[in-house]
Amino acid sequence: MKAIRIHEDGGPEVLRYEDAPDPSPAPGEVLVRLRAASLNHLDLWIRKGLPSVPKPRILGADGAGVVEHVGDAVYGFERGQPVVINPGVEHDGRILVIGEHSDGTHAELIAVPAGNVYPLPERLGFEEAAAFPLVFETAYRMLVTKARLAKGEWVLVWGIGSGVATAALQIANAVGARTIVTSSSTAKLERSRVLGAEITVDHSNADVAAAVKEATGGRGADVVVEHVGEATWKTSLQVAAQGGRIVVCGATTGPNPPAALHRVWWKELTIFGSTMGTKADFEAVSTTSSPKAACTRSSTACFRFPKLAQPTSGWSRELSSGRSSCGWAGSVAAAGSHRLVA
């Protein structure tokens, strides 16, 4: 089969579009012929060696396709059946991620546990399905499973336009929470208002803390979705309400911000770490949010798939607008805040 693999850590130049051995499904696994696969910021970290993984490694967490074959003791699937993959594999109390802890979806074929393979609803295309799982599962675990976000509570979402932030906004809306989102992009802020954001703040030239204080009548945000790290952590602690919750799933600007512990004890804050999601999270968010509505946006650029393997900075540029979903049958298009184009 063809796959995009890395044999060393580094920039886009380490991506290789090459032949790789066809996987075979072990007992309890399903072999999926992929029709679309997503690009997440996680793939950039893995490619850079943060963390470094065994090589060669096929990247990619999300994917959708058709059943090619099933291993022993697998029932309920038919050859050619459209399916979507849940990238979070539960193992010994941990959540392992396809593409990080095992070969991923940037290939023609992948063998995954049958419990992580779900029939694809007829209303959903392969590209839309491939753009949905990782970020929505992550955001659902953060807001619902961990923070227990409730109707009427205020939630601050940093960096709207990223995959997790866009998913968090829509899940918060589904819960009935009130939302404040930030970005340095006017276009992303405008788009977030279309998606239901109540308050939008340009964090490049506005005082986020003042905006949160004004919106909440001085109380602060009940929940803060934190995935930025060093650049936003101090403000996240500042704007959290008394007894508020801060949920952390990443730190794209750095993992070592000033602790400001006095705010934690004085406000009696709860800080949750959150990674991906469980099978229960995946199944819950699939009913809470509409993948079709979540993943259909205004169209931007479209590229032939093999360009993903070329040594350019295009991968990183695409992620600045959200996520990407690439179809093995033809093209790659920006997702997250954009429409997926087959």
Q: What would the two tokens of residue 163 be?
A: 């995959």
Give me the half-sphere count of Cα atoms (radius 13 Å) on the Cβ side of residue 143: 36
Give the SS3 label for residue 79. Answer: coil
Q: Compute the residue count for the chain.
A: 342
Say what the pLDDT of residue 34 is: 97
The per-residue pLDDT for range 177-212, each reduced to its tens digit, is 999 999 999 999 999 999 999 999 999 999 999 999
pTM metric for this prediction: 0.85
Instruction: Please determine, for residue 73, whether its predicted confidence score (pLDDT) is greater than 90.
Output: yes
Say what the pLDDT of residue 330 is: 33
Task: Find, among 325, 286, 334, the residue nearest to 106 by Cα.
Answer: 325
Residue 226 has φ and ψ, to the nearest 5°, of -110, 115
Domain with CATH 3.90.180.10 in the chain: 2-120+297-336
> Contact at 8 Å (CB) between 48 and 9?
yes
Lowest-pLDDT range of 26-30, 261-265, 284-288, 327-331:
327-331
The DSSP result for 67-96, as a single string, is EEEE-TT--S--TT-EEEE--EEEETTEEE
DSSP-assigned beta bridge partners for residue 36: 64, 327
Confidence bin at 291 (pLDDT 50/70/90) = low
Could you give the CA distance from residue 80 to residue 160 in angstroms, rounded to a whole number? Answer: 37
Domain with CATH 3.40.50.720 in the chain: 136-273
Cα angle vertex 157, ends 225, 301, to 5°? 115
Q: What would the two tokens of residue 40 be?
A: 């997440």
For residue 56, say if its preceding peptide bond is cis, omega within 30 degrees of 0.
yes
Could you give the CA distance from residue 273 to residue 153 in angstroms, rounded to a whole number? Answer: 20
CATH number of 136-273: 3.40.50.720
DSSP-assigned beta bridge partners for residue 3: 18, 107
Say what the pLDDT of residue 287 is: 78
**Which residue is associated with the tokens 């998913």?**
167
Q: What would the two tokens of residue 173 be?
A: 């809306």
**Which residue is associated with the tokens 């930025």?**
228
> Contact at 8 Å (CB) between 303 and 331?
yes
Say what the pLDDT of residue 324 is: 55
The per-residue pLDDT for range 35-57, each reduced to its tens digit, is 999 999 899 999 999 999 999 99
Hey, what CATH class is 2-120+297-336 in? Answer: alpha beta
Mean of the pLDDT values across residues 245-274?
A: 95
Confidence bin at 122 (pLDDT 50/70/90) = confident
Burial class (CB within 10 angstroms; exposed 0-12, middle 13-18, buried 19+) of 148: middle
Q: What would the two tokens of residue 123 be?
A: 């209303």
Task: Find, among 329, 339, 287, the residue nearest to 305 by Cα.
Answer: 329
Could you give the CA distance from residue 335 to residue 318 in angstroms, rounded to a whole number? Answer: 9
